[in-house]
Amino acid sequence: MRVADSATVNRSDDAPVVTMVVAMSADGKITTRDAAGPRFTGPSDKALLRRLRGECDAVVVGAATIINDDPAYPLPAETRRRRRDAGRWETPIRAVVSGRASVPPTARMFHGHEAPALTFVGADADPGRVRSLAEVSELHRGADATRVAPAQIVDTLATAHGVAAILLEGGAELNFAFLDAGLIHEAYVTVSPWLIGGRAVASPIGGDGLNFSDIVPLELRALRVEEGETYLHYRVSLR
């Protein structure tokens, strides 16, 4: 599987490329009823995620992912060395979107990294929680009460930190917000051979959904099957 050259991505020259990465069951679920997350995926999927993290400048993730999974974002020593030799942070910037400032300041994304961490909160987020998060991260407020516009997130990362490549790791509501804003350029989708079910169990993209006239076409760039899992790489045709 190869990453599309930047010339093939439908974007303005100075805008960061946003790549969405999702792993789902064969019936389109990204977690289980007991909120176990994508633990059902195999080693190759986890290796893909590490590779994509190693290639990006910043990871953007929703609050629920941090609260439920508490990822540490480790990278192999060789990847960190290559990034350092290229004049980049050893690990990517981590940005969490937490409209109500519900992410705990003890989350591992805020600690043990040389690169900065950013938290985006809504205008009405609890002041005490905001102060706690400001002690461990760079704090940014959105204009809406409990939401932050994806365009603000992308612009902040680009202008304040020179970010050119963003890895969007979800969850479902954040993925929809970026899709609805026309800000996803590429997508990596892993389909894992499990069935989960559940009308309330999340799929890769949540939100209100799109009308038929607005659905977003994809161009398949690469496909492979390994250890029972199907790996798809798409270019997104932006509206």
Of all residues in the chain, what percent carry a pLDDT higher than 70? 94
63 in any annotated domain: yes
Note the helical H segments in the chain: 43-55, 63-69, 77-85, 127-134, 150-161, 172-180
6 in any annotated domain: no
Residue 112 has a pLDDT of: 93
14 in any annotated domain: no
65 and 43 both lie in a single domain? no
**What would the mean pLDDT of 124-128 be, rounded to a whole number?**
97
102 in any annotated domain: yes
Dist CA 209 CA 168 (whole Å): 18
Per DSSP, 86 falls in state T
Domain end, chosen from 132, 164, 196, is at: 164
**pLDDT confidence tier of residue 3, bands split at 50, 70 and 90:** very low
12 in any annotated domain: no
Dist CA 184 CA 237 (whole Å): 9
4 in any annotated domain: no
Dist CA 62 CA 194 (whole Å): 24
Residue 7 has a pLDDT of: 31
Residue 38 has a pLDDT of: 87
49 in any annotated domain: yes
Distances (CA, A) of 173 to 34, 102, 223: 18, 15, 26
**pLDDT confidence tier of residue 132, bands split at 50, 70 and 90:** very high
Q: What CATH number did the domain enclosing 236 receive? A: 3.40.430.10
Dist CA 3 CA 222 (whole Å): 9
Of all residues in the chain, what percent carry a pLDDT higher than 90? 90
188 and 208 both lie in a single domain? yes
pLDDT in tens, 169-202: 999 999 999 999 999 999 999 999 999 999 999 9
| pTM for the full predicted model | 0.91
**pLDDT confidence tier of residue 239, bands split at 50, 70 and 90:** low
pLDDT in tens, 135-166: 999 999 999 999 999 999 999 999 999 999 99
- Other beta carbons less than 10 A from residue 167's beta carbon: 23
**What would the mean pLDDT of 43-62 be, rounded to a whole number?**
97
Residue 238 has a pLDDT of: 62
Which residue range forms the structural domain that includes residue 79?
57-164
Distances (CA, A) of 65 to 47, 84, 168, 200, 237: 19, 27, 12, 17, 27
Domain end, chosen from 129, 164, 199, is at: 164
3 in any annotated domain: no
User: To the nearest whole number, what is the mean pLDDT of the chain?
Assistant: 92
Whether omega for the bond prior to residue 171 falls within 30 degrees of 0, making it cis, is yes
> Is the pLDDT reported for residue 95 higher than 80?
yes
24 and 71 both lie in a single domain? no
Residue 5 has a pLDDT of: 31
Residue 13 has a pLDDT of: 59
93 and 139 both lie in a single domain? yes
> Is the pLDDT reported for residue 120 higher than 50?
yes
**What would the mean pLDDT of 65-71 be, rounded to a whole number?**
93
Least confident of 23-27, 36-40, 123-127, 214-218: 36-40
153 and 198 both lie in a single domain? no
pLDDT in tens, 14-34: 789 999 999 999 999 999 999
Number of structural domains found in the chain? 2
